[in-house]
Structure 1
Amino acid sequence: MAEKSEDRCERVARDVLGLEELRPGQLEAMAALADGRDTLAVMPTGAGKSAIYQVPALLLKGPTLVVSPLIALQRDQVEALRERDEEAVSLDATTSAGKRASSFESLRAGETEFLFCAPEQLARQDVVRELAAAKPSLLVVDEAHCVSAWGHDFRPDYLRLGAVAEALGHPVIAALTATAAPPVRAEIVEGLGMRDPLQVVRGFDRANIRLEVRRSDGDGVEQVAEAVGELDVPGLVYAGTRRRTGELAGRLVAGGVRAAAYHAGLRRAERDAVQEAFMAGEVDVVVATSAFGMGIDKPDVRFVVHAQVPGSLDSYYQEIGRAGRDGEPAAGVLFYREEDLGLQRFFTGALPDEQTLARVAEAVRDGGRADRKRLRERLDLTARRLTSLLNLLEKAGAVKLGTRTVTWSGQEPAEAARAARAVAERHRDIERTRLEMMRRYAEQRDCRRVFLLGYFGEQLAEPCGNCDTCRAGTAAERNGVEEGPFPMHARVEHTVWGPGEVIRRDQDRLTVLFRDGGYRELLLSAVLEEGLMRELRSDAPDRV
């Protein structure tokens, strides 16, 4: 009798990786990949996402391509694999031509199992051609939320990966991320061209992190400094602007705290020095913009303080998830004032103008099958800007994106520009509903964890007991999920907003995530009395 995939994965995990016991969700994801099924795994950092792809990689015939946005993290993973006698290489802009050639040669010869690279490398046609010749059996996309315009760390370079997968012959795809609400998961699947993927969603509940919201007065600098003084170090403070990171870091240093500022405006050497000092315990508090954190695995971070409200619960939960990875008590403190929402609304308000979209559309049409580099030079646009505009045009059905070329669909440029602008407006409106959910969380009197997990499509029936509302007693009134029509995860259709999914159900109201309308809170009585919504009878996608 043939050995089952689950048994093979357990054996390899034990014998090669030394894992005697697998964590919830790991085995299901491993076995699906080993069976050749595309898989999206949403698990917190530290939950063993690397093992999810490393085990099936050793069972599938052919090399494994791992796409990761962080060069430092790639090198760490290469080192860890080599320590286990697994051949692995990384490829980035600093890799010499000779090293590139030898890496691809060993990949084709079957001598190297793992090749790590950043998505920018896959914009190079020679790289894609060499990889296609090596016939990879597994394509791993780490930090997969970056592919989604819904995501809190959207990166246009990730938009090429669906075309790259096709150019490589569509190997099995493993998409991995620590945080992805339902719309982000849907866009990951679409953007990567995943086929009938298994979705393994686990571990949103970080019960050891105490959740707290404090009202902020004025600029909040003194309040944040006072809060940091009450908390155990090391910790992180997130601020909305570069200027504010400097102000807060300066105030903490003046108060005797070993603190440093970190933001994208600093020189690379300065950023690296701050990160290294924090990891080594020489700096106790890093005050940063959202530029800091991805790939940082420091288990003993005791707190994450947000000095200003972030733009979504996605980014908020990703950032507080950097606390307490050792399982010990930690704190996530959010300073909130309604005025700060205006800054975030400003960030989500920018829209591309139709004239620029039309210029791009005309250039693609005139080129027939246009080369990205020539388009960039002709239009005088940055690579990032051009990629974003082309993505909108693709979503509007005007172009088809390849790894290097763009193909015209036949629409009139002016019509394509209007349609693409409408796509951008819809995304903006949806982003603003996410900001509204952030406001709802901050002003919540019910259990904050119940609300937060509901946003990600997870159900916690009882108050958590480890947030400020639970401790204040205001969350005690909730008695689990109410029974009745439109239960949690029910597929629904609204007369205005179309299809959606119930992500939270209270006694008198529903929170529904609509595909085209974003997050909406509805009064249950109005829905029932006016017949605004009906429940659909359909099977949900696979979810473990």
Structure 2
Amino acid sequence: MVSGKENNQNFDPIILSARERFKIDYLFPYQRLVISNILEAAAATGNPEQGERRDANPHQIVILPTGAGKSLCFMLPALLLPGATLVVFPLLSLIADQARRLLEEGIEAGILRGGQDKAERDYVFDGVKSGRIKVLLSNPETVLTRDIIEKIKQLDITHLVIDETHTVSEWGESFRPSYLEIGRVAKEGEVPVVTAFTATASPYILERVKEILFPDTSPNVVIANPDRPNISYRVEPCLSKNHQLIMLLGKSTRNRVKRPAIVFCRSRTGAELTAQMLRSRLNEKEIYFYHAGLTREEKGKIEKWFFNSPDGVLCATCAYGMGVDKRNVRTVIHRDFPPSVESYLQESGRGGRDREPSEAILLFSNEDREY
């Protein structure tokens, strides 16, 4: 006998589309809600009479925990909506990872980034015009250039997605001021529907995002339960953090943790020194560091290695806190205290994205008492 819930899923057009395009048989209620909001908003803005009757705001801020299927919330609508969807990421590594995942599904994504020549840009724009390209991926600095905004205005861009939206406030007010202007893309590019996604947002960050992205309107806010029951959290007091890392990550030690593992460090130098120490003390060659100071080629090589590694250890700064979607990370260790609770949730959420058990360990010693 088929339950009512299963029967509804079988006849739900959104579920049927997810099954056909992504081989997904079930959507969480919050995924279904977000996708429905996007499709209804786009339909209303394309139909003035429906738009007058529709009471909901076309824009929304969506707060989903890491590993909760956020990408599907904007990738499925991208294939169902008329026109194209523009997705703005804060990091080139996220753009490359999303393009890879789409290609695995047989979907070509157009990438807009700095350093491209006219031929590369024209190929992307022609693809959007012809309907060959339904998804555009870019970063804030690129989409805010005058020529790109003019192109967006000329193209049929139905939906603007801003991913990792907490960085709009956190980074925009420090080292990436272009983020504070990101709202111009929708306004000047005449994009009718805007959705902002993040895994973590304090009340202050949420209000700042509203002010920056939606100054003239009140967007809907969708907040899913942030609990990740498959992640166990613990604080590990220690006298020496290096010694504790050796005990935790050594393959022959009694208290070793499961791998692959990420060790988050506060600074670039810290990530490099920690990787070098572990490589030497554990007598393992394949322990690498990752930070924003690496070249694009170096980052790509390390991302590919870690993605395919069954038991690798990556020592990283916050530059990997929104890294590629490696689903089987079993342990996330913070050698140093992160700058905020939001950062900690974002970084520890790198673990257990396959919904299997994972550990998040925060090392604590006397040097941390000032925090």
For 1:214 and 1:46, the matched residues in 2 are separated by 25
Aligned residues: 337
Partner of 1:270: 298
- The partner residue of 1:191 within 196, 204, 212 is 212
Within-5 A mapping of 1:422-501: none
Q: In structure 2, what residue type is equivalent to 1:27?
A: R
Moved more, 137-146 or 180-189: 180-189
For 1:10 and 1:266, the matched residues in 2 are separated by 41
Partner of 1:244: 270
For 2:237 and 2:179, the matched residues in 1 are separated by 37
Partner of 2:77: 56
For 1:290 and 1:55, the matched residues in 2 are separated by 29
* TM-aligned CA deviation for residue 33 of structure 1: 1.1
| Equivalent position SS for 2:195 | strand
- From the superposition, tell whether residues 124 and 139 of structure 1 become closer, same or farther in structure 2 (CA, over 3 Å): same
- The partner residue of 1:100 within 118, 121, 130 is 121
* TM-aligned CA deviation for residue 283 of structure 1: 6.5
2:187 aligned with 1:146: no
Q: In structure 2, what residue type is equivalent to 1:329?
A: P
The structure showing larger relative contact order (alpha-carbon pairs under 8 Å, at least 6 residues apart) is 2
- The partner residue of 1:163 within 174, 179, 184 is 184
Q: In structure 2, what residue type is equivalent to 1:146?
A: T
* TM-aligned CA deviation for residue 130 of structure 1: 0.8
Instruction: State the TM-score, normalized to the length of structure 2.
Output: 0.81
Partner of 2:351: 323
Contact (CA 8 Å) 2:78, 2:84: kept in 1 or not?
yes
Contact (CA 8 Å) 2:110, 2:136: kept in 1 or not?
yes
Deviations 1:281-317 (A, max 9, x none): 1772111221224232112211111112111111111
For 1:338 and 1:299, the matched residues in 2 are separated by 33
| Equivalent position SS for 1:327 | coil
- The partner residue of 2:137 within 111, 116, 119 is 116
2:35 aligned with 1:30: yes
| Equivalent position SS for 1:16 | helix
Q: In structure 2, what residue type is equivalent to 1:259?
A: I
Contact (CA 8 Å) 1:66, 1:139: kept in 2 or not?
yes
| Equivalent position SS for 2:319 | coil
For 1:51 and 1:154, the matched residues in 2 are separated by 30
Contact (CA 8 Å) 2:144, 2:182: kept in 1 or not?
no
Within-5 A mapping of 1:233-382: 233-253=259-279, 254-257=281-284, 258-281=286-309, 284-337=312-365, 339-340=367-368, 342=370
Instruction: State the TM-score, normalized to the length of structure 1.
Output: 0.57
| Higher radius of gyration, 1 or 2 | 1
For 1:154 and 1:28, the matched residues in 2 are separated by 34
Contact (CA 8 Å) 2:259, 2:310: kept in 1 or not?
no
Q: In structure 2, what residue type is equivalent to 1:126?
A: D
- From the superposition, tell whether residues 248 and 84 of structure 1 become closer, same or farther in structure 2 (CA, over 3 Å): closer
Q: In structure 2, what residue type is equivalent to 1:12?
A: S
Contact (CA 8 Å) 2:260, 2:310: kept in 1 or not?
no
Contact (CA 8 Å) 1:145, 1:153: kept in 2 or not?
no
Contact (CA 8 Å) 1:225, 1:248: kept in 2 or not?
no
Partner of 1:15: 20
For 1:266 and 1:35, the matched residues in 2 are separated by 42
Q: In structure 2, what residue type is equivalent to 1:235?
A: A
- From the superposition, tell whether residues 137 and 154 of structure 1 become closer, same or farther in structure 2 (CA, over 3 Å): farther
Cα RMSD between the aligned structures? 2.8
Partner of 1:205: 227
Deviations 1:92-116 (A, max 9, x none): 2243302312422342454532221
Structure 2 gaps, min length 5? 1-10, 42-57, 251-255
| Equivalent position SS for 1:315 | helix
Q: In structure 1, what residue type is equivalent to 2:354?
A: D
Deviations 1:233-291 (A, max 9, x none): 11011122233223322332222344222233344443333332222217721112212
Structure 1 gaps, min length 5? 1-5, 343-438, 440-544
| Equivalent position SS for 1:221 | helix
